Amino acid sequence: MTTRIFHNGHVLTERGFERDACVVVEDGHIVAVLHGDAPTGADRVDLQGGWLAPGFIDVQVNGGGGVLFNNDTSVDAIDAIGRGHRRFGTTGFLPTLISDDAKVMRRAIAATRDAIAQKVPGVLGIHLEGPYIAPARKGTHDAGKFRVPDADEIAMATSLDNGVTLITLAPERVPASTIRAMVERGAIVCAGHTAASFDETRAGLDAGITGFTHLYNAMTPLQGREPGVVGAALDDDASWVGVIVDGVHVHPASLRVALKAKPRGKVLLVTDAMPMVGGDDPSFDLYGETITAIDGVVRNAAGSLAGSALDMASAVRNTVRLLDLPLDEACRMAAQYPAEVLGLGGELGRIAPGYRADLVLLDAEMHVRGTWVGGR
């Protein structure tokens, strides 16, 4: 049995960051959070006064480490994406496939299944962002890939049997019976890239939608006489929303409104990251078009935002600096709340006995100084 003790830092517990706590890890899991002097006689990790938080969980990762998932649906690609993001504190993620053909979706699901079976660090499942979305709110997605799934495609899209499946769709484009069928087959369904009205969104929620992909972006806005998708998301206490806190996708004031409207625990940080995160090249190809990040903003040739160059550690820093939240809550938005959304809140997202030792160490400037997955 391998024992490791993390000490001499601030540890995020249910009470916030505690200076006198230490974390005892055995064989990849947390067995104790102690207060006072750290025990002796084991492998010791000196946190040097830093801030130890649960490892970040990102439910929307299109790429990283120079790889775009759509362009390389392999186990090696998933591993490269994970490695690209780990240096920024992400210890759990959903490789995200944007709208594509059914054969590409099958390969992506098969690669995700194999990556989980082979214990590629951090892989929790797959996010299928489309192709069941709206041309009017397509963003950088290829509308030529869009379709309404039949029974065979529903079975294919929900066929991952060893991880989480998250599906983003437009509720006005997909029958309520289809949404219910996806949920019954174990998928988490969220609304995104949608031109739905408030009533259409509400019908989707009633059918089983439980979340919203990158709130405010690629959806109908909140207006006085038509609340739209945004209004439905903010009005519904039960659903969660993902937010891209990069200062570009959404104005900080709009994000602060969402935080005030939604119950605590229902707003998650996501990156919507593209290959340049953890990679060396600011450009990549999508659907045969070269897309480049300029001054940290990723757009296609038409000027539409095409994902982001955001990493999760930067999202946490931005949440503190732009949204005026304390670091402990920003870390929960990056770890605990995503874990709960994915149904993994009993094993990931907290520093507590019984939880997997997925950890991130931050310094005083909220930059990552160490990352552990299962204690490694």
Q: Please, are residues 361 and 371 in contact by the beta-carbon 8 Å criterion?
A: yes
Q: Is 249 annotated as a binding residue?
A: yes
CA–CA separation, 313 vs 295, rounded Å?
18
**Annotated binding residue 217:** yes
369 annotated as ligand-binding: no
State how far the Cα of 123 lies from the Cα of 166, in Å rounded to an integer: 13
List all residues 6 or more positions away from 40 whose beta carbon is below 8 Å from its beta carbon.
Answer: none
Q: Which residue has the tokens 């809140």?
A: 345
Read off the tokens for 10.
Answer: 């601030």
Find out whether 230 and 215 touch, Cβ atoms under 8 Å: yes
Burial 301-319 (b: 16+ CB within 10 A, else e): eeeebbbbbbbbbbbbbbb
The annotation status of 371 as a binding-site residue, yes or no, is no
225 is in an annotated binding site: yes
Amino acid, single-letter form, for residue 239: S
Catalytic choice (236, 246, 272, 328): 272
334 marked as part of a ligand binding site: no
Those residues with Cβ within 8 angstroms of residue 370's Cβ, 6 or more apart along the chain or in another chain: 45, 50, 359, 360, 361
Helices (H), 118-197: 151-157, 176-184
Report the candidate in 334, 324, 337 with the shortest Cα–Cα distance to residue 359. Answer: 334
Distance CA 43, CA 6 (A): 9
What is the C-alpha to C-alpha distance for residues 5 and 2, in angstroms, rounded to an integer?
A: 10
Q: Is 85 annotated as a binding residue?
A: no
75 token code pair: 């186990």
Note if 272 is an active site residue: yes
Binding-site residue numbers are 129, 140, 193, 214, 217-218, 225, 249, 305-307
Binding-site residue numbers for Zn(2+) are 129, 193, 214
Binding-site residue numbers for substrate are 140, 217-218, 225, 249, 305-307
Q: What positions carry a catalytic annotation?
A: 272
